[in-house]
Each structure stands twice: as C-alpha cells, then as structure tokens.
Amino acid sequence: MNKTYFNIKSAIVATSLSFLMNVPIFAETLQVSWSDSSSNEDGFIVEKRLLANGEFEIISTLTANISSYIDSDVILDETYCYRIIAYNQAGESPSEESCLAVIGENDVEPITPKTGGKASTPEYTYTDITISHQFISKPSAIEIGDKKLYSFKSDETYNESYSDSSIENAEFYTESGRVKEYSRDYFSFQKNSNELVNGYVHMGFNSGNKLSFDIESNGAKQVATLYMQAGVWTNEASSIVVTVGDTEQYITLPRGYSWQYISVDITFDGTAPVTISTDKDQGGYSGLMFAGIVINDPVFLEEVDIEEAIQYASLLSVDTGVDTTIDVSSVEFTTYTMQKGNDDFSDASVESISYFGTNRTSSNTYKFITQNDVTYSGYKSMNWNEENGVTIKLESGESQINIVSLYFSAGAWSRETAMIEVVINGESEFIELSSGYSWKKMKVDIEFEGELNLSIRPSGILGGYSAFKFAGLTLY
C-alpha cells in the first residue's frame, strides 16, 4: 500500500500525529487510517468534505488510541478529503487534509490495444479544420436520434445509413498501463430513448499513450462531436492535446483530483487524421476515457444562417463592491468549474467555459449558495497577464433577451491605471480599476439575444500580487 504522510501542525495537544490514506481504490467504502504516536489524547474527531466543497463536516468522534475509520457514506466518481483532529482538555491538534477518489470497477475488461498497421491508408484531402471544446455536465444519456455514432468501447458504428462520413482505423497506443473497457450508466448513447451502447475505453494520462483514427467526410463541411472524460490526480496544470490534420488544440483541465467531462467539436471537410494524447505524464488514477463520436450531417449546419440570425449584446452595468457570497436560490447559475444549477429558472444556457494561459484553482473566498444550503466554493485564479483569461459561450432563450451576471475579482498592485478587458462578440469593453493595491470584487451584467461569446482578461502585465479571479455567473 502506498502511504502519504502529513505532519501535524503544532498545537496545544502534546501529540505526534500523522495522517495517511489508501491509494485511490475501486470501492464503495473508504478506510481512513492514521498513525497515533501520542499517549495523552482523549480522542479523535474525523472531518470530511467533498473536494468541490470547501466546508468540512464532523462525521465521527472516536475514543483514544483509535487509528482508523471506515466511511461507508461515499458514492462512486467523487473525491473526498479528510482531516483528523486529536483532542484533550488542553485543546485540539488538526492534521493536514488528504483526498481520495472513489471509483467503481464494475464490468471492467482489459482489452488489447491495436498496434498494427492501419487496415487502409486513406488519401488525406482536408482543406479546412477547426477544433472547439467545452466542459459539460456528467452526461447520463446522450440522445442521438438517427445520427451516426462510432463507439470506442464496442468498436462499432450505429445508424450506418445516416451519413457517408465515417470513423476508420481507430487504434490505441500505450507506453504506460493498459487499455480497459468500462460499462457505465453514463455516456449512454440512445436512439429514441433506447440505449445503443454505453461506457468508454480508458487509458492512463501519459504522453506516450494516444488514440488515433481517421475521420472521413463525404466531401461537404460538417461537424463530428467527440465525447470524452479526463482527470489528473495532481494540482499541476495538465492538458489534452487534440490534433486533426495540421490543426492542434490544447484542452487544459480546470482542476485536479476530479473528473472532467468534455465534448470536442471537429469541423472538417475531406478526410483527416486525428490523434489525441496528453502534454505530460501524470500518475495515480489519472486517465483519459473515450466514449464515442457523433457525426452530424451537413444539413444540420445549414438549418441556421448565421449571418441572418438575430444577435445582440450590450454591457449594462459594472458593480465593483459586491459580496463574495452569492445567493443563487432563485436563479440559474454556473460555477467556474461548469457546475450548474436551477437550469429550469432560465431558457438561456451556458455552452462552455474554458481558460487560456496559466491558471490555478482555489477553493475559498467565493460561495454560491443554493436554496438547500448547498455551497459551491472557489474560483480560478491567474496572474495579471493579458495572455491569461477565460472564454465563455452562451445562448439566449429563443426569441428573447437574457442577462448574464459575471462574478470575478481583480487586484492590481500598481499605482498605474489598470483595466480588465471584456470582449463581447468581438467588441472590447474596458473596466478601469478605481485604485491599485486592493481587490475589486465585481459583478458585470451583460444583456444579450442569440449567441454570446465572451472573453475576459487583464490588460497588460503587472507583477506582485496582481491577479484576476473568475468565480462563475448567473443567468436571468
């Protein structure tokens, strides 16, 4: 068993306590264990929190000389953090926290990756490739109707007659670990509510591992949507690298120690090679999961004339002194990690939130609180550099005007004038900070109809504590 030790902070209790956790395991219970080298504690308090929630809760109080606790109140595909507090009449001494993922291994079968040559080598005829992505909610069911689907798990194509386009020569190459098939009750591809196939193929998050295939078009420009999942068990910034023809896109995961669900749209004409790998190697439970690709025929691209579609957006107001605790009990909201709530409160939708440049995740300061007192905490932070920022894509309700409120903080440790640039459908608006050496907690309201593309970033480059912190948004 691998063990990670955390030294106890100095406290009133004269005890030497270290905290250790099992490595991530396939289970529906977690055993929390610690090393107790003291002789004067009255007992231990076990605290727990979800990784996505900054609030610890007491789950058990134990007597002295206990060194383990079994937590059966866990669910699959979540990450939990624990903290142990030794106490006596003199006071308390808490350990550092340690986090662990709970993942089930039902219906798992190792598969042999294809490593031979391609069944056929097509002539690559692409001329125009674009790649976009968005982080999505955990997809329990994906309704495809009559559209064509290729499943990586079954290595089969469904609704074959829908389109002349196809996915060919899918191969997995692994330098580290094994390739496995997983059956799941999510990534369930359905036709008229009847399941066609579910699950995905898993491989380790390693730059030497890759998936490759050819995407073959019937000659017209169209879109194929890839559904996948990824997670890294580290706080180090890590990216998925998607290469289609000579076009490359890096998808940086917004946080570690959790699973992210992703849809990748590939717009293509002709035939092109596709390769998906990672920018670095990550160990532990880190991995890439590939579910399937849905091919949309060109008719779906032609239904809406983009030039004639109604599109309107305007900056309404900027408030620089709002509270960092945000009541979302009666409003649709989306956090910086694409956690959503109250979807039925608005017809507008958040299609994607992504980050560019260098950033890091914090689990404090900002709190979105629901009517059931569920709290979503934290923000994405980045240094004051115009190469860092966030992009957001939204859609209004049909034939209506909606308002999006953006919540973020900005601090410029400089006497020079500092500004935040907000790009609204290609037009720049600048928000000037009234003074330096302080944090401005902002709420920016934007009115829009149709598609809204936003980009928010600091203007210029500043040092010191200067930073931009994005927490999330609400929709009216």
Residue 206, pLDDT > 50, answer: yes
Q: What is the pLDDT of residue 35?
A: 73
Q: Which of these ranges, 5-19, 202-216, 248-262, has the smallest mean pLDDT?
A: 5-19
Within this chain, do residues 268 and 283 fall inside the same structural domain, yes or no? yes
Domain containing residue 404: CATH number: 2.60.120.260
Within this chain, do residues 207 and 275 fall inside the same structural domain, yes or no? yes
pLDDT tens sequence across 279-318: 999 987 789 999 999 998 654 434 444 444 568 899 999 9
Within this chain, do residues 118 and 207 fall inside the same structural domain, yes or no? yes
Q: What is the pLDDT of residue 179?
A: 87
CA 52 vs. chain centroid, Å, equals 11
DSSP class of 41: -
Most confident of 15-24, 103-112, 271-280, 296-305: 271-280
pTM: 0.49
Average pLDDT, the chain: 83
pLDDT tens sequence across 309-346: 568 899 999 998 899 999 999 999 999 988 999 988 99
Within this chain, do residues 316 and 194 fall inside the same structural domain, yes or no? no
**CB-based burial label for 30 (10 Å; 0-12, 13-18, 19+):** buried
Are 12 and 92 in contact, with CB atoms under 8 Å apart? yes
Measured between alpha carbons, how far is 388 from 392 in angstroms, rounded to an integer? Answer: 14
**Amino acid identity for residue 429 in this structure:** E
Within this chain, do residues 204 and 76 fall inside the same structural domain, yes or no? no
Within this chain, do residues 254 and 359 fall inside the same structural domain, yes or no? no
Domain containing residue 65: CATH number: 2.60.40.10
DSSP class of 279: S
Q: What is the pLDDT of residue 121?
A: 67
SS3 12: coil
Q: What is the pLDDT of residue 380?
A: 93
Within this chain, do residues 180 and 206 fall inside the same structural domain, yes or no? yes
The reply to whether 1 falls in a domain is no
Q: What angle do CA 190, 353, 383 make, to 5 degrees?
A: 150
Residue 7, pLDDT > 60, answer: no
Measured between alpha carbons, how far is 354 from 348 in angstroms, rounded to an integer? Answer: 18
How many CB atoms are located within 10 Å of the residue 39 CB? 10
Strands 271-278 and 210-216: antiparallel
Q: What is the pLDDT of residue 27?
A: 52
Both tokens of 440, joined, read 């401005």
- The range of the structural domain enclosing residue 463 comes to 312-475
pLDDT tens sequence across 242-258: 999 999 999 999 888 88
Domain containing residue 281: CATH number: 2.60.120.340
Measured between alpha carbons, how far is 109 from 116 in angstroms, rounded to an integer? Answer: 21
SS3 271: strand
The reply to whether 279 falls in a domain is yes
Confidence of residue 14 (pLDDT cuts 50, 70, 90): very low
Which of 74, 102, 130 finishes a domain?
102
Nearest CA-CA partner of 221 in 266, 269, 162, 273 = 269
Q: What is the pLDDT of residue 375?
A: 92
Within this chain, do residues 98 and 127 fall inside the same structural domain, yes or no? no
- Report the DSSP beta bridge partners of residue 188: 141
How many CB atoms are located within 10 Å of the residue 334 CB? 25
Phi, psi (degrees; rounded to nearest 5) at 40: -125, 15
Q: Where are the beta strands (DSSP E) in 123-165?
A: 130-136, 141-143, 148-151, 156-158
Confidence of residue 37 (pLDDT cuts 50, 70, 90): low
Within this chain, do residues 131 and 189 fall inside the same structural domain, yes or no? yes
Residue 6, pLDDT > 80, answer: no
Whole-Å CA distances, 91 to 12, 85, 233: 5, 10, 34
More confident position, 431 or 56: 431
Residue 91, pLDDT > 70, answer: yes
Measured between alpha carbons, how far is 256 from 52 in angstroms, rounded to an integer? Answer: 10
The reply to whether 446 falls in a domain is yes
**Tokens 């890590």 — which residue?**
238
Which of 102, 122, 139 finishes a domain?
102
Within this chain, do residues 252 and 337 fall inside the same structural domain, yes or no? no
Confidence of residue 3 (pLDDT cuts 50, 70, 90): very low
Q: What is the mean pLDDT of residues 395-416?
A: 92
What's the domain count of the chain?
3
Which of 277, 302, 327 finishes a domain?
302
Confidence of residue 5 (pLDDT cuts 50, 70, 90): very low
Nearest CA-CA partner of 155 in 117, 125, 114, 101 = 114
Within this chain, do residues 160 and 260 fall inside the same structural domain, yes or no? yes
pLDDT tens sequence across 108-143: 444 444 444 455 567 888 888 999 898 888 888 899
